Chains A and B, each alone.
Chain A
Amino acid sequence: MNAIEVLSAGPMTTVQDRGRPGWAHLGVPPSGAADARALELGNRLVGNEPGAAGLEATLAGPSLRFRSATVAALTGAEARAVVGGRPVEPNQPIDVAAGEVLEVGGYSNGVRLYVSVRGGIAVEPVLGSRATDLLTGLGPTPLQEGDVLPIGAEVAAPPQHVAERPRLQREPVLRLLPGAQAGWFSRDASAELAEGSWTVSGASNRVGVRLEGPTIERIRREELLSQGVVTGALQVPPSGQPILLLNDHPTTGGYPVIGVVHASDLSLVGQLRPAQRVQFEVNHGSQP
């Protein structure tokens, strides 16, 4: 069987695809690749269906042995990598011979690197997705040394070179649209958001990116009844230090949402690294 062996999973590697949209009313988080654009590019490079599953590694690694000859691609975070001892370029199809080992080092920029393999990772889907959901435990467990992952047949086209060269920014600017409780905060709070420089906390994960910076003050103090929340929502807990919800977020939340990152900028959120700085461009929208 065509398969890959996990020699080392690095700090955290999971299987990801487009996740489980459509189940949120039953409490199932969206899950899926945090940098969806990078996984989509990887699938294009190896000629997969856009929804095929790949590996999402975090901060460093993984090391994988390919049992059969295939085509792979590395996208997302920037890192040095070798296949069979040869240095390989990111964002390109990579020919891999049977038995060769892919080794990825620590990431110099970004936090999540995607390994796409022609045919896709073919673990058993759960609710239509192969994604690991770290909040609820749905999907496969995070990879461990010694795991063997089956490769599927979700191919759509021959592998292809793509001119796209995504660049990760040192201090990304995220477009922020008003959230449902924008009115619970003063104009000053909105200005703090736009003018402040925010630092990504080390306590961030696929559930949420915690930001450290000026304290965001509420002007309305009542308790919020639970409401549905989206990936990219900027929640403000009582500490006043906001949390940006990522893909494994709970489907409902009780903290006021001051803003929501534009859907086109979510892939940037998925690459935010602990201690990195980030800014918001606050768009007040057309609503009064």
Chain B
Amino acid sequence: MSDITIRPSGSLASLLELPDNAAAVRVARRLRAECKRLIDVVPGHATVLATWEGEDPTDELLALAEAALRDDDAPVDGATVAIPVRYDGLDLHEVARLTRLSPEELAERHLRAEYVVGFLGFAPGFAYLLGGDDRLRVDRRAEPRQRVPAGAVALAGPYSGIYPRESPGGWQLIGSTTAVLFDPARPSPALLSPGDRVRFTAA
């Protein structure tokens, strides 16, 4: 039995359902490296979307994905990125209240955890970071903000995230960073890529 379910996604894409995010990151890397016919390989929380032009490569995708999961002794080696944060977010006190922590304890717990970039989405360079302290799980805001500033460090559900540019947004804002998350003029436009490790440092 395979841990992988292939779901249809139209005439030129397939969605691979995987056991967890680590598997999704691993499979996405393998597909990107070894199946040159693919156009986009997009990890999600526990999925990989693969798109192509021309002949359907789904059988090859399944074989590559199974191989990627079998070779699970090879660690996924991502870069480690340090991001300086000031804990000055508009929702810091609300999140502290919801989690029954002081703002200082909240910041300390957020700084202590090590995060992995699960996937990107929502906006160019917006990384969904997994691996945070369970105590810091909060729901999205009931009313999304029309305007969240660029560099806002935020929490929602199992994720931490950083808004790359000013945009609407519904996550709870706990801090801010001066790091530039996305710059199309850089050779690697996104600061964070799926599988990278992230540590927040006190700014």
Closest B-chain residue to A261, C-beta based? B10
Residues of chain A from 138 to 165 with CB closer than 8 A to chain B in the complex: 138
Using Cβ atoms and an 8 Å threshold, which residues of chain B touch A179? 7-10
Given A136, A233, A250, which contacts B9 in the complex, CB threshold below 8 Å? A233
Given B28, B45, B120, which contacts A251 in the complex, CB threshold below 8 Å? B120
Closest Cβ of chain B: how far from A286's Cβ, in Å? 9
Closest Cβ of chain A: how far from B19's Cβ, in Å? 12
Closest Cβ of chain B: how far from A255's Cβ, in Å? 13
Given B10, B120, B182, which contacts A262 in the complex, CB threshold below 8 Å? B10
Given A22, A24, A126, A260, which contacts B10 in the complex, CB threshold below 8 Å? A260
Complex Cα distance A68/B184, Å?
33
Using Cβ atoms and an 8 Å threshold, which residues of chain A touch B182? 26-27
Closest Cβ of chain B: how far from A257's Cβ, in Å? 7
Closest B-chain residue to A231, C-beta based? B10
Contact with B along A28-58 (1 / 0, CB 8 A): 1000000000000000000000000000000
Closest A-chain residue to B12, C-beta based? A263
Decide if B190 is an interface residue (CB 8 Å cutoff): yes
Decide if B124 is an interface residue (CB 8 Å cutoff): yes
Q: Is the interface of A mostly helix, strand, loop or mixed?
A: loop
Decide if B39 is an interface residue (CB 8 Å cutoff): yes
Closest Cβ of chain A: how far from B174's Cβ, in Å? 21
Using Cβ atoms and an 8 Å threshold, which residues of chain B touch A226? 44-45, 119, 121, 128
Residues of chain A from 260 to 288 with CB closer than 8 A to chain B in the complex: 260-264, 285, 287
Decide if A127 is an interface residue (CB 8 Å cutoff): yes
Closest A-chain residue to B50, C-beta based? A228
Using Cβ atoms and an 8 Å threshold, which residues of chain B touch A250? 121-123
Complex Cα distance A225/B119, Å?
11
Closest Cβ of chain A: how far from B6's Cβ, in Å? 9
Complex Cα distance A253/B43, Å?
12
Using Cβ atoms and an 8 Å threshold, which residues of chain A touch B78? none
Given B39, B119, B126, which contacts A22 in the complex, CB threshold below 8 Å? B39
Decide if A197 is an interface residue (CB 8 Å cutoff): no
- Select the residue from A21, A136, A232, A264 with max chain B CB neighbours within 10 A: A136
Residues of chain B from 35 to 49 with CB closer than 8 A to chain A in the complex: 39-49
Decide if B193 is an interface residue (CB 8 Å cutoff): yes
